[in-house]
Amino acid sequence: MKLVGITMVRNEADVIESFIRHNLGYLDQMLVLDHGSTDETASLLGALVAEGLPLTILGCEIKEYDQSRIMTDLLQMAFQKFGADTVFPLDGDEFLRCPSKLHLESVLQARLEQPVLALSWPVYVSSEGSEAETHPLHRFCWRVATGKPAFSKVIVQRSITTRSQFALIPGNHGVIVPVGNGGVGKLAEMQVPFDDLAVAHLPFRSADQLMAKVLVGWLNSRLHFRDRPEMQQFEWHWRSLFERISKHGPISSSEIRSVAICLYALNREWDGEDRTSEYSLIHDPLPVLAAMRLPAGQPDALQLLTQWATHLVDRVIAQKA
């Protein structure tokens, strides 16, 4: 069977090489849409293609960060043009967790008739004092356990193509299909056991990376959603951090771990309070399937925000010309 990963990325130079090499340890092909990166992401992707990795890089004419629409287009492309049997929608900070590719294929073969499979989405945080490590999987060895049901990501099987219409929801947390009276509903999912397959999430890798992700991410969301109600459903975590940074200044390196745990493991806004009684950390490192060979980019929040603002002003001027 053919397993294809799809992703859209923007300014992920610090993690993109490890993301590609690791996930290709399980997948046969990856389709990567670079949505206007201004850091070293594009050059790193080009270098990986030049190595001969089974990697297809795509551009994008959609200026807004319309993740649902773009990822659904990639999903359709993976089935129609690349012959995928199973498609893995991934973000650039997500790493498959599975005993082996052979095991992965057996898990999927047993569930071929189920169009949508739900995978656990555990949050991983870094070891203290590990900043000198260049490979993310050498740093992010601690899985956050809360004792509550973990959030899920989905993978999509070819059997879904019997439907004429379907779409990934923002964040790749589910698939929606048309229902009666012109509405949409979430398609039923089959949960895959955690030990068989999961998607490890490494949300924040440095203070600058966090700052750039929050500042540009929230402003992009406002441009796309135009403050519509659904923005609160999907983008509340960007809003809360953006407002905190606006009022209190940058988030420090020492606070990164607690921010990641609050937002993605506890599913609550970060308020700086001690939440250690609400979770435990389990040492559960992912295997390092491939060494990094390229120099990783170093995020610069001010530079990335300046580039984004300049691009926006240029667009406004062009529209008024």
- Lowest-confidence segment of 179-188, 276-285, 287-296 by average pLDDT: 179-188
* SS3 assignment, position 169: coil
What pLDDT shows up at residue 140? Answer: 96
Q: Which of 34, 16, 201, 215 is nearest to 123 (CA)?
A: 201
Could you state, in order of their start, the residue ranges of all structural domains in the chain? 3-320
How big is the chain, counted in residues?
321
User: Per-residue pLDDT tens for 12-26?
Assistant: 999 999 999 999 999
CB-based burial of residue 44 (10 Å sphere; 0-12 exposed, 13-18 middle, 19+ buried)? buried
User: Per-residue pLDDT tens for 104-122?
Assistant: 999 999 999 999 999 999 9
What pLDDT shows up at residue 162? Answer: 92
User: Per-residue pLDDT tens for 175-208?
Assistant: 999 887 778 899 999 999 999 999 999 999 998 9
Confidence band for 231, pLDDT divided at 50, 70 and 90: very low
What pLDDT shows up at residue 183? Answer: 84
What pLDDT shows up at residue 148? Answer: 85
Could you tell me whether strands 3-9 and 86-89 are parallel, antiparallel, or unpaired per DSSP bridges? parallel
Confidence band for 226, pLDDT divided at 50, 70 and 90: low
**pTM confidence score:** 0.91
Cα torsion 97, 194, 30, 264: sign: negative
Q: What values do phi and psi take at 38, rounded to 5?
A: -115, 0
